[in-house]
Structure 1
């Protein structure tokens, strides 16, 4: 098994605008209006869909099926012993052509108890093109107040509850499950998340989505909002959520390790990618990765059975991995 270059995998007609910056990053032509996400090495479907969102490998095989047939080869022996064929990772490239709505994602216990899902949805972002992000409450708020703002779609008040922070290329943002957030217009990012498509929408006015019908995951807002964190974030806590990534090595807070890992690898001549299932994104420059000639914007899936992969060139790579087993 060898590293595999992956083509774009963009679900069409998402409910928010974006796609042009994603195409530019990937070196592709086109300016789609509502294709703001590239689901990279995905074994996850768009909520409510049978296959949309799944990655198809060169030759036509679906990645999810390939992993189910050989979890050890793809994910590694230790991972397969603990989690079977569950890759425990979804990677996306996301282009916010407009500000996303204020929303949150459920944690593992809530998702298991109320939705019958194997995971919640913690996530983290590596910023490729900067702009504003809104995350974390400035003051504690009750679920009753949130419910009232949601029912009235008081967008200004909802946004006003959150810290607004400018982010630049090379910053990382850790978004624990339950944390209210919204990505600002113009931000292009690499997202690591648990492999689910579960969002609790507090805002939908002006977006192409049925918020009253879909925003609560079919649970009703009274229950769905109990999954939202309502405590305030101090300046110190915000510094742990949003900060500049170190120039190399692991870039996410330790709290993210139980969900996924992200490594920044500068390449100046020669380097190596340690063994294990990973998704590699070339952020800048050109590189030879295991015999594959890659330019900025390329995405590569590395099976565990590929072992240690040699890299050469002048480039910067981001290496996304599932949690350590």
Structure 2
């Protein structure tokens, strides 16, 4: 069977949210510091035992259910290669304020220095537009970057990045190490590797002690080694930010080893291919596996369920782990 998932919003995050998630899900109110909804999560907030994890309708943690039967949940090929490692975290993210300039480590750095199985590549499907900041406009030395962090020269840090206007239906690919910030008012669906790892280069105006916590416990001298300091030419931005195709896979091929997102417009009957997936209804009204669903509905599909039949008029986003 497939599982409809309710909200899963970790409280008291270090940045503010807006009303976009509540409006999307059809809820009356929104807490100020709940800017993220973790969908189908087997990942905890960094340093927490359970916060961030998804509970199934029968109250079991999804993490525990997958560990008990990875073949049923993830499929035989996935389980043969990766065991019970889902290799995916999906979030709704509502930037009630501009996020700080930050980056995430890659697999090698996270394994060597943090003892984590994954780094944090991520990509976004834009639901409500605005400005995103991604990629350096010029090459920066590690000493210059360290000086800007020490001085908290926010204008200079943000000025290093390309500012790009995004519209609903655009996608943004953020490789590990890439400096980025999400602008105030942007609402998006994020796919990422299943870790909560951020290297913060700024923290003024945010509810976090960045000098103590922004370097993941490594010290900034070591943490900044995970940051890509190479410039992105304007022509290269098309590799990172672009309109999504109307149907099918929407992220660049470079994201495929980490996760996949499919766009499925529906006008009548359609089928979601078999395999572990998370479904997000972003437009219209659909009957999904016999259950009527409105915009903002999210569903968890085990691999053992097989194909999912859909009927109506609307659009689904289908998030999946990498192909084994």
Q: TM-score range by the shorter chain?
A: over 0.9
Q: 1:64 maps to what in 2?
A: 63
CA contact (8 A) 2:18 2:185 kept: no
Alpha-carbon distance, 1:237 to partner: 1.4
Unaligned 5+ runs, structure 2: none
TM-score (structure 1 length as normaliser):
0.99
Q: 1:312 maps to what in 2?
A: 311
Alpha-carbon distance, 1:59 to partner: 1.6
Distance 1:156 1:250 in 2: 36
Q: 1:184 maps to what in 2?
A: 183
CA RMSD of aligned residues (A): 0.5
**CA deviations over 1:174-196 (Å, ceiling 9, x no partner):** 00000000000000000000000
Q: Which aligned pairs between 1:55-204 and structure 2 lie closer than 5 A?
A: 55-204=54-203
Alpha-carbon distance, 1:28 to partner: 1.0
CA contact (8 A) 1:54 1:62 kept: yes
**CA deviations over 1:83-136 (Å, ceiling 9, x no partner):** 000000000000000000000000000000000000000000000000000000
Q: Which runs of 4+ in 1 moved over 4 A?
A: none
| Alignment pair present for 1:206 and 2:205 | yes
Distance 1:129 1:187 in 2: 5
Q: 1:5 maps to what in 2?
A: 4
Alpha-carbon distance, 1:31 to partner: 2.4
Q: Which aligned pairs between 1:267-286 and structure 2 lie closer than 5 A?
A: 267-286=266-285
Q: 1:244 maps to what in 2?
A: 243
SS of aligned partner of 2:304: helix
Q: How many correspondences in the alignment? A: 324
Alpha-carbon distance, 1:241 to partner: 0.2
TM-score (structure 2 length as normaliser):
0.99
| Alignment pair present for 1:290 and 2:289 | yes
**CA deviations over 1:234-284 (Å, ceiling 9, x no partner):** 122101100000100000000000000000000000100000000000001
Unaligned 5+ runs, structure 1: none
CA contact (8 A) 1:19 1:37 kept: no
Distance 2:27 2:263 in 1: 24
Distance 1:309 1:285 in 2: 17
Q: 1:255 maps to what in 2?
A: 254
CA contact (8 A) 2:282 2:316 kept: yes
Distance 2:122 2:309 in 1: 29
**CA deviations over 1:201-230 (Å, ceiling 9, x no partner):** 000011000101100000000000000000
Alpha-carbon distance, 1:20 to partner: 1.3
Q: 1:228 maps to what in 2?
A: 227
Distance 2:2 2:127 in 1: 23
**CA deviations over 1:13-57 (Å, ceiling 9, x no partner):** 111010411100111110211100000000000000000000001
